[in-house]
Amino acid sequence: MAADLTTDGASLRDQFMAWQCLIRQHAMRRDGGRPSDGVEPLVLMPDGRELGHIRTVIAERDPEETTAMFRHAVQRTNDPRERFDKGLNYLSSAYFQKSRNFEPRVFVMFAPDSPGANALLKAGACTLVFGQFNQNYRLPCVVQELERSDPFAEALYWHNALFNPALPPDSRRLAFAPQWDEGEAF
């Protein structure tokens, strides 16, 4: 069922975050952690050119405790399957239950020399088009690179390290801040 079109940025934000938590919980519990279409939006550059799809992560507003748990799980073993299982177990529990606990930005990890990351940072903006289950969102975003010491950059890195044992430590961490008053659900 598609959400009602809304012009209120706070309502759109709340709808989107609830939807993101629902589809991520579904992916963890029913699809073995396999990312679904709804977490991989199409990126439209300001000139209208399609950059392609990116895989997004959402993080809790206060990510330090979960980040510490993810870091511990990664550093505890070199077995990628054990790391994956630990992450899947945690994320399929109650993690995505309360959408208001999540930062209303999405985060993406890029390779150190990613041309896509360079293009996004040069433009400083893009539009992310999300879609799944007959629900779609078009969200104009401001794009910013996070310092490695930023708590959300740390959350993103350790989350991804659970699922990617070959993740380069110098991967680039970008935040996409939706301009909620300019976005739309359709």
pLDDT per residue over 61-73, tens digit each? 999 999 999 999 9
Q: Whole-angstrom Cα distance, residue 78 to residue 178?
A: 36
Give counts: helices (H), strands (E), the chain: 5, 7
- Per-residue model confidence (pLDDT) at position 3: 44
- Per-residue model confidence (pLDDT) at position 150: 97
Using DSSP's 3-state secondary structure scheme, residue 164 falls into coil
pLDDT in tens, 73-105: 999 988 989 988 988 888 988 889 999 999 999
Tally of CA atoms within 13 A in the half-sphere of 179 that contains its CB: 9
pLDDT confidence bin for 32, thresholds 50/70/90:
confident
User: Higher confidence at residue 32 or residue 119?
Assistant: 119
CATH architecture classification, 9-33+56-183: Roll (2.30)
Which stretch of 3-7, 14-18, 124-128 has the lowest confidence by average pLDDT? Answer: 3-7
pLDDT confidence bin for 7, thresholds 50/70/90:
low
Cβ atoms of 39 and 31 closer than 8 Å: no
Predicted TM-score (pTM) of the model is: 0.92
Which stretch of 63-67, 109-113, 163-167 has the lowest confidence by average pLDDT? Answer: 163-167
Cβ atoms of 112 and 170 closer than 8 Å: yes
- In this structure, the dihedral spanned by the alpha carbons of residues 63, 151, 65 and 172, taken in order and rounded to 10 degrees, is 90
Mean model confidence pLDDT for the chain: 92
Q: Whole-angstrom Cα distance, residue 124 to residue 126?
A: 7
Q: Whole-angstrom Cα distance, residue 87 to residue 107?
A: 18
- Per-residue model confidence (pLDDT) at position 178: 98
Residues 6+ apart with CB under 8 A from 139: 16, 41, 127, 128, 129, 130, 176, 178, 179, 180, 183
Cβ atoms of 77 and 83 closer than 8 Å: yes
